[in-house]
Amino acid sequence: MNRKEQIRNAYKLTGGHAGFYDGMMTYSTIPGKAVCRIVWNMDGEKNLRYIEKALSGVPEDFAGRLLEVPVGTGVLTMPVYRELKEVDITCLDYSPDMIAVARQRAVTAGIDNIAFVQGDVGALPFEDESFDIVLSMNGFHAFPDKEAAYRETYRVLKKGGTFCGCFYVQKGNARTDWFIRHLYQPKGFFTAPYETKESLQKRLSAMYEAAEVTAVEGMACFRCTK
Ligand SMILES: C[S@@+](CC[C@H](N)C(=O)[O-])C[C@H]1O[C@@H](n2cnc3c(N)ncnc32)[C@H](O)[C@@H]1O
């Protein structure tokens, strides 16, 4: 199964009963599609495009150690991990409830090369330079201490390793910015300050040997080499 199919099939791992969050992430339920279109100005094609870009730093034939932070419910990544048999996967999240859902999803998908850790991205419980890939999807706009998160994800990555993923950036879409400021932030889903695509490119280029940032509406996708 190729990567596009893996992502497209993500909704199937919800067993056809995606909750609101999973339905939104996988563009698979009526309320989820409405949020994607109204808040993010994304249809199914754009949604698929940003997820594919975010995951493009994880080769389909990858073998090595991968850290995902934050894993959330694992709805976007478990379909991908199902095909990565040669990878030693570690998934970290602050929320035990999110981890419980992701763990159950891994069991259902028959993934056994995976470990789940409850923890804080700002103080990762891992040795320096211990992962070949650090994947971070939709996390940095939620993390309260972003500087610590940038520092820690860099610290645990091996030299030559890949840091990749995606998160919200401001000024990509004015309507998205309005919803973030007036709804997501007051509810505590997102935490300021936010990057722009340009500020993120500048930051990552200064930290990493190579860094590429692209954007789909208000979602930036990044891929860096340490
Ligand atoms: C929007 S979800 C993204 C989850 C998943 N990567 C996805 O794309 O569906 C954000 C996640 O960040 C986690 N989180 C927030 N602050 C964190 C922290 N300091 N350390 C680790 N995880 C954190 C939350 O528990 C939540 O699961």
The reported pLDDT for the residue numbered 22 is: 83
Dump pLDDT digits (tens) for 60-86: 999 999 999 999 999 999 999 999 999
Is pTM, for the whole model, over 0.85? yes
pLDDT score of 138 more than 80: yes
The ligand 1 atom nearest the CA atom of 142: 15
Name the closest-CA residue to atom 23, ligand 1: 94
Tell me the domains of the chain and their CATH numbers. Answer: 3-225 (3.40.50.150)
Dump pLDDT digits (tens) for 15-58: 555 578 888 888 888 988 999 999 999 999 999 999 999 999 99
Name the closest-CA residue to atom 16, ligand 1: 143
Backbone phi, then psi, for 135, in 5-degree steps? -110, 130
Listed in sequence order, the residues at least 6 apart from 147 whose beta carbon sits closer than 8 Å to its beta carbon are: none
Listed in sequence order, the residues at least 6 apart from 62 whose beta carbon sits closer than 8 Å to its beta carbon are: 84, 86, 87, 132, 133
Name the closest-CA residue to atom 4, ligand 1: 72
